[in-house]
Amino acid sequence: MNKVIKSYKLRIYPNKRTQEAFIKNIGCCRFVYNECLNQHKKDQNKNVNSNFSYKYYDNILKDLKKNNEWLNEVDKYSLQSAYENLDNAFKRFHRGLSNYPKFKSKYNPVQSFKIKNKYSIYIQQNKIHLNQYGFVKFKDKRTIQGTILFAIISHKNNKWYVSVTCGYVPIKKLNKTSKNVGVDVGLNDFAILSNSEKIAKLKIDKMVNKCNRLQHRLSRKQKDSNNYKKTKLQLSKSYEKLTNYRNDFLHKLSIRLVNEFDIICIETLIIKNMLKDHKKANSISNVSWYNFFIMLEYKCNWYGKKLVKVNQFFPSSKKCNKCGYINRDLKLDMRNWTCPCCNETHDRDINAAINILNKGLSISTFGTKGI
């Protein structure tokens, strides 16, 4: 049995007084984040040899509390988490994983703050106790397991959520099935399995078109007007619905593969480079391959299954899975081709999935080079 860190996102229904406290805490955290970022920029421009560590930001926070007494009215751990987020943002920037941190705006569609568990975040029936905010109602049938480490309260589209992160959550390993599979992803079909099964992609064209229409309508509104705010809320809700629909599909497919197979072989794709093709960028971003691969990876780790990644330069589509002949003249519009050596006719995608499976099994047996 594995013990992992797991988060549960619950929708909560706070009363007016609690909502006002949440909004105040969000504003204070945003203020601390922006002030720390502003001071960081000033010290960098002055070439001050400062050690930008937690102590550096903690000194800034102490000065802010002296000059702004209203900061003492909110949870101090939430304010500390604000500059911790800034420090993490700079670390990601220096590693080349994200852009330079930006100032936070109160007009962002998602606002949140973090509270740490000091033995006062716990659940009682259909209520959750959140430190000094007291009990807040929620609706969810799942049982929350493990030790609660912290919670993140967020506000989006006039809805309140709490994401409870728990440690030492027990997860049972799934039984072995003695089956392996290769998975090739595509744009015509979302996924093609080595057992010749093709999984259709989501039909989200209407939802995407609706988001595009609302985006166009929003661009024609006068900024900060009432109609602008109404349209912006409609657009945010449409994007939220699209995201939920897509994530539901990805979660169901990924858990199904983990349940049915012991070894899952996939091809590593540099999606960032693929998005540079402007003709296919929208289609690639809509299918959300990256999130699918992330879900497969952590679910395999949770449930004791194995995920093998095959290099993206491996000629999975061009190689005959029967005799090994490589068809170097194969073009993207050729969905079927016949091997000149063994006269075997291949479906391009199924052939690729079989080759990914064979290569993945050789990597799993003989190491990264395979055979």
> End-to-end alpha-carbon separation of the chain, Å?
33
Q: Is 20 one of the catalytic residues?
A: no
Structure tokens at 72: 């003492």
Q: Is 240 a catalytic residue?
A: no
Catalytic residue among 84, 260, 297, 349: 349
Helix, strand or coil, per DSSP, at residue 124: strand
> Could you confirm whether 349 is annotated as catalytic?
yes
Ramachandran angles phi, psi of 183, nearest 5°:
-120, 120
Which candidate in 184, 197, 260, 347 is catalytic? 184
Amino acid at 217: R
Return the residue matching tokens 């909004």: 23
Residue type, 224: D
Task: Provide DSSP, 146-170.
Answer: SEEEEEEEEEETTEEEEEEEEEEEE
DSSP secondary structure code for residue 82 in this structure: H
Strand order in the sheet with 127-130: 110-116, 147-156, 159-171, 2-13, 135-139, 127-130, 121-124
Of 189, 197, 267, 333, catalytic:
267
Burial class (CB in 10 A: 0-12, 13-18, 19+), 344: middle
Phi, psi angles (nearest 5°) of residue 50: -95, 145
Beta strands at 147-156 and 345-347: parallel, antiparallel or unpaired = unpaired
- Positions annotated as catalytic residues are 184, 267, 349
